[in-house]
Chains A and B, each alone.
Chain A
Amino acid sequence: MYEQVVAINIGLAMLLAMSLNIITGFAGQPTLGHAAFYGIGAYTSALLTAKAGWPFLLALPAAGLVAAVVGVLLGLFSVRVREDFLAVTTIGINFVVVAIFQYVELFGASLGLAVPKPVLFGLRFGNTEILILLVILNILVYLFIRHLPTSWLGLALGGVRNEEDAAASLGVNPDHYKVFAFGIGTFIAGMTGSVYAHFMGFISSSDFAFPVSVGVLSMAVLGGLGTVSGPLLGAVILTLSPEVFRFVSDYRMLVYGGLLVLMMRFQPQGLIGDDSFLRRKWIGLFSRGKGGE
């Protein structure tokens, strides 16, 4: 069903946007290669189920773990280099990972990989089951992120993002938390990749190329980096807009690029970030509303 497929795409996009938000929004580390981890998860899960015969329920966390291992390595690398170097290095990782998927025989090379549909307790997964799984995962990740800003981990990450030197002088080791954020963010991206692979039934390297990373970052930025629910809003808007604007499909990229430019120029904090026009309206509506989330 068309609506189900759209809903699944939104569910996947929300998970990706939230996971990127942990790294870029909460820990302040720019990343332009998130699709690489999404892809690592997808290929891990595909190989484990199709070639090694693992059940989906085991392959799902395994996909997250493999992605997280690479993510932690990137995190360890990130603490050595400057922010701008990191942004470019993440682009580089995206290109290298996609090139490996595309040229190494094990990953199906240019033919891609067929992925079996998951079976759980005799129940063969269709789109409905995938959708239920995505809802569960989204709720879990959302609860984690909602809890994050007030937890010790979130406070440490905020300190690292805003005043790294000050945080360090108070006994917070910024490097540990950056690596931690990379680990969690890429773990979620890897699991999302696993769900994507089993939903599609077929994956190829171009599904995880650089434009996908730009798309995910745009979602988080559009909604508001570092906000709890902004990335969700961004994911919904950017996943739905190609469907809604199908009648101008020839101008899609033009509109998309233009939107990004205008958004950054006039609402760089995102739709529901601090002092955005939506938030000001919202606070105006409930003059005693909670503005300082």
Chain B
Amino acid sequence: MLVQQIINGIVVGSVYALTAMGATLVYGIMRILDISNAGAYAIGAYVAFFFLLQTGSPLVALVTGVALTAVFGFLVQKFLYAPLMNKSPNVSLIAGIGLFIFLQDFLRLVAGPQARELNFGTLLPSIQFPSLQLTLYGTWFLILAATALLLLILWLLLNRSPIGLAWRATAQDLETAKAMGINTNRVVAFNFILGYGFAAVAGILVGILYNSVYPTMGDVPAYKMLAVIVLGGLGNPLGTVLAALVIGMAETLIGGYVGFFLPRDAIAFVVLILILLWRPQGLLGRRRSS
């Protein structure tokens, strides 16, 4: 029973890590909390749903879902966030909330308010261990494998490629990076393509995990991903993974095992507030400079 809960917590944490990674990348460069990233999460799931319906091929659905959402991220960056870069962070924050509300209602009007099935056919079967009261679901393996693979790719991209070097330089100090001849506009665009692509993957995987997509599916991720990236120290991909696992574990263990008077979704914020009281800079964040 405990083993089941722990594995479940790791799976939930992996989903959170993927969901929050897009917003972490965006924050790393732009220093804005991009709530519309949760809109991209729902859009990715819906595009995949649509193409699965049209073509019947899970691969086509997955690729188009991620690719089209990434293009959308590029457009959001170009027409909304880039012109706001020098304004107060409140401005981008509210613009992002507005875009998120818009996208959610757009999906509701286009696809209808009801939940739709995102059935990827016969995925990996479940494995049962009756003696241990343990069931390992096939979708769990899919999610764990996808998370590990994507995080590895991200790590290689950020640490072992020229664009990754430019990304890290820009994240550290955009003005200096620009002065050193880095094309920061391209880095920012790449950042949004990557960030929204990640959001789409997360949305599709969650759609598969619960076998449903619905217009408001971005609601819970919208604020929970914020809790995750803040806990991780804002803009630190490694911190985000750690924080996602902490929150995923806390939710499953406190909510499912110990029992708690508050609902599951509030636990993330209780954890966040308690940890910030102890470490105001987040789990892996640097101390504030001023």
Q: List A residues at the B interface (Cβ < 8 Å).
A: 24, 30, 32, 77, 80-85, 87-89, 91-93, 95-96, 99-100, 102-104, 164-165, 210, 214, 217-218, 221, 225, 250-251, 253-254, 256-261, 263-265, 268
List the B side residues contacting A92 at CB < 8 Å.
223, 227, 268-269, 272-273
Establish whether residues B223 and A261, one from each chain, have CB atoms under 8 Å apart when the complex forms.
no
Given known contacts A84-B230, A92-B272, is B290 in contact with A225 (CB within 8 Å)? no
Given known contacts A96-B266, A218-B94, A260-B95, is B84 in contact with A265 (CB within 8 Å)? yes
List the A side residues contacting B100 at CB < 8 Å.
257
**Contacting residues of chain B (260-286) with chain A, CB-CB under 8 angstroms:** 261-263, 265-266, 268-270, 272-273, 276-277, 280-282
Partner of B105 from A84, A96, A257 at Cβ < 8 Å? A257
Establish whether residues A214 and B97, one from each chain, have CB atoms under 8 Å apart when the complex forms.
yes
Leading 7 A-B pairs by shortest Cβ distance: A260-B98, A257-B102, A257-B101, A92-B269, A264-B95, A99-B266, A253-B105
Establish whether residues A88 and B227, one from each chain, have CB atoms under 8 Å apart when the complex forms.
yes
Given known contacts A218-B94, A260-B94, is B102 in contact with A95 (CB within 8 Å)? no
List the A side residues contacting B98 at CB < 8 Å.
218, 256-261, 263-264
Expressed in whole angstroms, the Cα–Cα distance for A89 and B102 within the complex equals 24
Task: Produce 1/0 per residue, B226-261, CB < 8 A to A.
Answer: 110010001000000000000000000000000001
Expressed in whole angstroms, the Cα–Cα distance for A260 and B99 within the complex equals 8
Question: Is B62 located at the chain interface by the 8 A CB criterion?
Answer: no
List the B side residues contacting A80 at CB < 8 Å.
276, 280
B281 to chain A, nearest CB (A): 8
B99 to chain A, nearest CB (A): 5
List the A side residues contacting B268 at CB < 8 Å.
92
List the B side residues contacting A87 at CB < 8 Å.
33, 93
Establish whether residues B91 and A254, one from each chain, have CB atoms under 8 Å apart when the complex forms.
no
Establish whether residues B94 and A221, one from each chain, have CB atoms under 8 Å apart when the complex forms.
yes
12 contacts between A and B (CB under 8 A): A30-B89, A30-B93, A84-B234, A85-B230, A88-B230, A91-B223, A99-B266, A164-B290, A257-B101, A257-B103, A260-B94, A260-B95
Expressed in whole angstroms, the Cα–Cα distance for A253 and B103 within the complex equals 10
Establish whether residues A103 and B90, one from each chain, have CB atoms under 8 Å apart when the complex forms.
no
A62 to chain B, nearest CB (A): 25
Of A91, A103, A217, chain B has the most CB atoms within 10 Å of the CB of A91
Task: Produce 1/0 per residue, B90-132, CB < 8 A to A.
Answer: 1111110111111111100100000000000000000000000
Given known contacts A85-B282, A93-B273, A214-B97, is B83 in contact with A265 (CB within 8 Å)? yes
Establish whether residues A254 and B106, one from each chain, have CB atoms under 8 Å apart when the complex forms.
yes
List the B side residues contacting A221 at CB < 8 Å.
90, 94
Question: Is B80 located at the chain interface by the 8 A CB criterion?
Answer: yes
B40 to chain A, nearest CB (A): 14
Establish whether residues A99 and B262, one from each chain, have CB atoms under 8 Å apart when the complex forms.
yes
Establish whether residues A89 and B276, one from each chain, have CB atoms under 8 Å apart when the complex forms.
yes
Establish whether residues A81 and B280, one from each chain, have CB atoms under 8 Å apart when the complex forms.
yes
B19 to chain A, nearest CB (A): 15
Q: List B residues at the A interface (Cβ < 8 Å).
A: 27, 31, 33, 80, 83-84, 87-95, 97-106, 109, 223, 226-227, 230, 234, 261-263, 265-266, 268-270, 272-273, 276-277, 280-282, 288, 290
Expressed in whole angstroms, the Cα–Cα distance for A102 and B263 within the complex equals 9
A142 to chain B, nearest CB (A): 23
Given known contacts A254-B102, A264-B94, is B109 in contact with A96 (CB within 8 Å)? no
Establish whether residues A89 and B273, one from each chain, have CB atoms under 8 Å apart when the complex forms.
yes
Establish whether residues A100 and B262, one from each chain, have CB atoms under 8 Å apart when the complex forms.
yes
Expressed in whole angstroms, the Cα–Cα distance for A87 and B101 within the complex equals 18
A59 to chain B, nearest CB (A): 26
A91 to chain B, nearest CB (A): 5
Given known contacts A87-B93, A99-B263, A218-B94, is B105 in contact with A251 (CB within 8 Å)? yes
Q: Output the nearest chain A residue to B27 by Cβ-Cβ distance.
A: A84
Establish whether residues B89 and A268, one from each chain, have CB atoms under 8 Å apart when the complex forms.
no
Establish whether residues B90 and A24, one from each chain, have CB atoms under 8 Å apart when the complex forms.
yes
Given known contacts A104-B261, A164-B290, is B223 in contact with A210 (CB within 8 Å)? yes
Establish whether residues B282 and A84, one from each chain, have CB atoms under 8 Å apart when the complex forms.
no
B76 to chain A, nearest CB (A): 10
Establish whether residues B33 and A257, one from each chain, have CB atoms under 8 Å apart when the complex forms.
no
List the A side residues contacting B33 at CB < 8 Å.
84, 87-88
Of B89, B102, B280, B282, chain A has the most CB atoms within 10 Å of the CB of B102
Expressed in whole angstroms, the Cα–Cα distance for A80 and B277 within the complex equals 8
Expressed in whole angstroms, the Cα–Cα distance for A144 and B80 within the complex equals 36
List the A side residues contacting B84 at CB < 8 Å.
264-265, 268
B171 to chain A, nearest CB (A): 15
List the A side residues contacting B261 at CB < 8 Å.
103-104
Expressed in whole angstroms, the Cα–Cα distance for A256 and B227 within the complex equals 25
Establish whether residues B102 and A96, one from each chain, have CB atoms under 8 Å apart when the complex forms.
no
A267 to chain B, nearest CB (A): 10
Expressed in whole angstroms, the Cα–Cα distance for A92 and B290 within the complex equals 25
Expressed in whole angstroms, the Cα–Cα distance for A251 and B106 within the complex equals 9
Expressed in whole angstroms, the Cα–Cα distance for A261 and B75 within the complex equals 14
Establish whether residues B89 and A95, one from each chain, have CB atoms under 8 Å apart when the complex forms.
no
Q: Output the nearest chain B residue to A165 by Cβ-Cβ distance.
A: B290
Q: Output the nearest chain B residue to A25 by Cβ-Cβ distance.
A: B90
Given known contacts A96-B269, A165-B290, is B95 in contact with A225 (CB within 8 Å)? no
List the A side residues contacting B269 at CB < 8 Å.
91-93, 95-96
List the B side residues contacting A164 at CB < 8 Å.
290
